[in-house]
Chain A
Amino acid sequence: MNKKPKAIIALVLTVLTVALLIWTCFYAGGKYVVFDPKGPVGQAQKELIILTTALSALIIVPVMILTFFIIWRYRDTPTNKVKYQPHWDDSKKLETTWWAIPIIVICIIAVITARYTYLLEPSKPLASTQKPVTIQVTSLDWKWLFMYPEEGIATVNQVHIPKGVPVRFELTADAPMNSFWIPQLGGQIYTMSGMAMKLHLQADHEGTYFGSGANFSGEHFGQMRFDVEVQSDEEYKNWVADIKKQSKPLTKDGYLALAKPGLSQPDEYSSIPDGLFKDIVNKYVVEGASNPHAGHGEATSTEGSSQSGTEDHAAMDMSHMNMSGHN
């Protein structure tokens, strides 16, 4: 085989691979949920992703083209008569240029990043005229418990939220840490035992959105999916009323049974025990220990009192819930 057909084979293979990839990525399969946001947080993150990608691509694409050009131009063939300078290895001008280009672009991206980091800090409430809905999320092995403290209801593996109203998620874990992610509403945040993290999201369109646990937490973590139903205000109120009427209450014992490792179908509860979420958080807080999340600002739960102050209460209430392997 001489040189020409080899180059043609390589070219054909390359084109075929690229075509295959473009075809599969665009015409086969699922929905690009990250690029299909349904709320202001997801929208801002999508814009940020596109902006930073475009800025980086400003360097990457020309360099990619330059790479192929240089490799093609300076290949060593008997007919290739381009200039050959084996000892040319230094040019202050060129080197200054390519130290400067990435520095400038990274500076721009850094400024944008810093701005958006403060803007999109998940613990920061969203600006809105509506009063936010609070939903307390607990990741368990291997299911999600959602409690609505104001409505006094709870659900498992499904969450309903009203359209156009900011939602204040308070998140904790009563199992190894997980991560709470509804891509179309906005990015994820970890759920960790002994902490009440906050995540503010809002949905502007009705529909059913995909949510999942994103951080590995053991055997059946893959099944920790849940649906997010975004409803009109009226539908949402009806849904709450229905649950209050039709479902069973969630008791402390019921919670303990739910918290045992295992899978669960979507479920609903008409009432929740007082301060259950706070008790779950406090179950793992040790008095006198410094709050590992001091940096998170207002990471304590809505019920107000500070975490360490309620330790006695927690110890009393939750002593029977201690799942420690050492006792």
Chain B
Amino acid sequence: MLDKIKEFASTFFVTGDPMIYGADVSIALATIGIVFVLTYFKKWGWLWKNWLTTVDHKKVGIMYILAAILMLFRGGVDALLMRVQLATPDVTLLHPEHYNQIFTTHGTIMILFMAMPLMFGLFNIAVPLQIGARDVAFPFLNALSFWLFFMGAMLFNLSFVIGGSPDAGWLSYPPLSELQFSPGVGQNFYIWGIQISGIGSLATGINFIVTIIKMRAPGMTWMKMPVFTWSVFSSCVIIIFAFPILTVTLALLFLDRFGGGHFFTLDFGGNPMMYINLIWMWGHPEVYIVVLPAFGIYSEVISVFSKKKLFGYKSMVYAMFIIAILSFFTWAHHFFTMGSGADVNAFFAISTMVIAIPTGVKVFNWLFTMYRGKITFKTPMMWSIAFIPNFLIAGLTGVMLSVAPADFQFHNSYFLIAHFHSALIGGVVFGYLAGLYYWWPKMFGFTLPETPGKWAFWFWNIGFYVCFIPQYSLGLMGMTRRLSTYGWDTGWQPLNLVSTVGAFLMGIGFLFQVLQILLGIKNYRKLKDTTGDPWGGHTLEWSIPSPAPEYNFATIPQVEERDDWWAEKDKRAKGIFRKQPPIEAIHMPKNSAIPFIMSVFFFIAGFGFVFGWSFFYIPGLIGVAICMICRSFFSYDGDYYIPADEVKRTEAAIRGSV
């Protein structure tokens, strides 16, 4: 009996690696620490009432961002471990199998559990406020989306200490990811972690499309909508077409592994190439899902910090929509080398490089937004400016990669790695960081201190170039991706060492950002944003106090212009005041525990499927069904009114007057 338990434990828990024991201990200590602090300060009730059951889009947004920063840390540590291994190729810091697990989880976490939630966090914070709404269209669904993402991410991360991490690459190509070559549970964690959070992503896409279509303040026609909201809209359009493909693809892979199917296996007619087509039909649009909102943020930030209107607003909107549509015609460029023939390769090469046109137009528009402006270099603007040269390089190399016969030389090499990290860090992460700094006062009521932010900026930026420019060279020297070791005779070591140094500089940049947030919290009284409009904003979110009250707008604004708040400030300066409608009782959604509980059941079901344990997945699925039934049939009491008097009192307290 004891032997059986021992045997089970040795396969159930990941053993044999001192680094993982270290992680086990720190996870245990952190958990104990959190439980202790919550109990000691009697904060369990507060946590439950204010956060776990909240349906307020602003709080959901903050939770998304917190989780994303945590995942950025995890993915970043993965990256540094890989870079250390590559800097000294013959020292085995990481055994090849462990290395494979680390790059797999690094990729998956950074795209799906860092970039996506950070993006959804910013959607949640900014969109309802920008369009003058009191919440998203489906607040309950919004909370459910968050908890599904969170539970999916936790399930995926659990593989690190329980059962073993996936190690077949972040897109998990079969046949490598099939039972035959990956018999462990790692791939199951991959499938279920992504599947559960993917449902949440799809729901968020639908939620924000409906929000933007239906909940805009009166007078806000499509062409008066803030450009960030436009970018969110186009990104969500891609989400609702792309994520179902991912769901189906992973479901088929699951059937292969769990139900003895042969969709993508080597034998019995399985066709691995079909998986690769499917996963990239989701995977390439996914790149544009994450980058379009960043484009939106750059547009907002650059125009605000140049004290100028956005140049070529309509061009920007069209460009974003063209990119959204074209994103579905590029997937095959991920396998030009799969011998699809010259016709197919030529088509996808050209449809890929065509995306450079609308993207190029956007760059010109940003430049001419700054032209004849007054540029102030606050942190959000610094990141936006730094993005432009980065993205020019990423765009140049992107066009180079899209040339099919040239891609035969770049494919799967470090050149490609450097390109997509330029696009995803220089394009996406820089944008989200700019957005985070930009909307920080709106979220928390104080601005972050500039000095540590600038240190962080310079460390990140210099580190970024030092890390990725040598990788272009390495690619042209024949170094392929996903190597854990290489010979000294290749001559790749010096550049790898430089690249590793760059990665650590970015790591230091991250630490400065943590310091910046801590200093901000410490000095928040001094940094308090009393105006609600610390940057001289153009759009509606800056017309309300910071942090935004629960109901956002005491009275729903009547929109007249594109940059409505800027126009109104101009008018006020001239002594013209709009007539404010009287404050009335505000209709709000009530908190609900169902999203959290239902996601926990999803987690239990997912965990059961990972190990094939019916005593886990059956109760889990039943729990999910019960939650759905409760929500559908028994929860009529989902809303309430904040009385007009209370709104008046709150407004008086935060504004000093009504």
Contact = CB atoms under 8 A, between A and B. Distances in A.
Given A113-B346, A176-B181, A188 B408 contact: yes
Question: A interface, how many residues as a size bin?
Answer: 35 or more
B311 A295 contact: no
Given A13-B462, A192-B273, A52 B310 contact: no
Contacts of A190: 335, 337-339
Contact of B466 (A20, A75, A283): A20
A196 B494 CA distance: 38
Nearest to A66: B367
B271 A292 contact: yes
A320 interface: no
Nearest to B359: A102
B495 interface: yes
Given A177-B173, A216-B482, A219-B100, A17 B363 contact: no
Given A187-B337, A296-B339, A212 B480 contact: yes
B243 to A, nearest CB: 25
B46 interface: no
Contacts of B168: 216, 218
Contact of B473 (A25, A183, A189): A25
A60 B396 contact: yes
A295 B408 contact: no
Contacts of B404: 113, 116-117
B266 A122 contact: no
A271 to B, nearest CB: 28
A86 B495 contact: no
Interface residues of B, number: 114
Interface string B171-206: 001111011110100000000000000000000000
Contact of A322 (B267, B337, B402, B411): B267
B175 A296 contact: no
A89 B484 CA distance: 51
The residue in B344, B409, B412, B469 that gathers the most chain A C-beta atoms within 10 A of its C-beta is B409
A44 B260 CA distance: 46
Contact of A52 (B97, B403, B494): B403
Given A189-B339, A192-B273, A90 B176 contact: no
A24 interface: yes
Given A21-B465, A74-B372, A212-B480, A193 B175 contact: yes
A87 B309 contact: yes
Interface in B392-407: 392-393, 395-396, 399-400, 402-407
A31 B477 contact: yes
Interface stretch (A76-84, A154-162, A236-244, A246-254): A76-84
A293 B372 contact: no
Interface centre among A42, A87, A198, A215 (most CB of B within 10 A): A215
B343 interface: yes
A84 B371 CA distance: 9
Interface in A81-99: 82-91, 94-95, 98-99
Contacts of A91: 368
Given A99-B361, A217-B176, A49 B409 contact: yes
Identify which of B393, B404, B406, B413 gathers the most chain A CB atoms within 10 Å of its CB. Answer: B406
A99 B319 CA distance: 10
Given A102-B357, A116-B405, A28 B338 contact: no
Contact of B406 (A45, A84, A192): A45
Given A48-B403, A326-B260, A30 B490 contact: yes
A88 B372 contact: yes
A35 interface: yes
A11 interface: no
Contacts of B491: 29-31
A110 B407 CA distance: 14
A74 B409 contact: no
A25 B357 contact: no
B376 interface: yes
B537 to A, nearest CB: 14
A110 B350 contact: yes
B405 A98 contact: no
Interface string B568-604: 0000000000000000000000000000000000000
Nearest to B463: A17
Given A120-B405, A190-B338, A98 B373 contact: no
B342 interface: yes
B403 A30 contact: no
Contacts of B472: 25
Contact of A95 (B266, B310, B312, B367): B312
Interface in A112-148: 112-114, 116-123
Interface in B251-283: 260, 265-269, 271-274
Contacts of A186: 408-409
B368 A75 contact: no
Contacts of A112: 403
Contacts of B335: 190
A193 B338 CA distance: 12
Contacts of A85: 308, 372
Contacts of A8: none
A192 B338 contact: yes
Contact of B269 (A106, A286, A295): A286
Contacts of A35: 476
B465 A17 contact: yes
Nearest to B376: A76
Contacts of A76: 307, 374-376
Contact of A70 (B371, B407, B480, B487): B371
Contacts of A220: 96
A104 to B, nearest CB: 10
B16 interface: no
B494 A74 contact: no
A90 B312 contact: yes
A183 B403 contact: no
Interface in A182-213: 183, 186-190, 192-195, 197-198, 210, 212-213
Interface-centre pick from B180, B399, B400, B405 (highest chain A CB count, 10 A): B405
A87 B269 CA distance: 63
B273 A33 contact: no
Contacts of B181: 175-176, 218
Contacts of A114: 346, 349-350
Interface in A30-75: 30-35, 42, 44-45, 48-49, 52-53, 56-57, 59-60, 63-64, 66-67, 70-71, 74-75
A210 B395 contact: no
B77 interface: no
A212 B373 CA distance: 52
Most buried by A among B179, B337, B340, B370: B337
A192 B175 CA distance: 10
Of A29, A90, A292, the most chain B CB neighbours within 10 A belong to A29
B486 interface: yes
B388 interface: yes
A296 B477 contact: no
Contacts of A219: 96-97, 100, 167
B244 interface: no
Contacts of B458: 10, 13
Contact of B409 (A57, A84, A175, A187): A187
A189 B340 CA distance: 10
Which 8 pairs, one residue from A and one from B, show the smallest C-beta to C-beta distance? A187-B408, A30-B491, A325-B180, A89-B309, A286-B269, A102-B360, A295-B341, A98-B364
6 contacts: A49-B400, A59-B360, A67-B392, A86-B307, A109-B403, A181-B478
Interface of B: 96-97, 100, 167-169, 173-176, 178-181, 183, 260, 265-269, 271-274, 306-313, 315, 335, 337-346, 349-350, 353-354, 356-357, 360-361, 363-365, 367-377, 385, 388-389, 392-393, 395-396, 399-400, 402-409, 411-413, 458, 462, 465-466, 469-470, 472-473, 475-478, 480-487, 490-495, 498
Given A84-B372, A219-B100, A326-B179, 6 more contacts: A34-B478, A63-B392, A110-B350, A188-B411, A214-B411, A222-B96
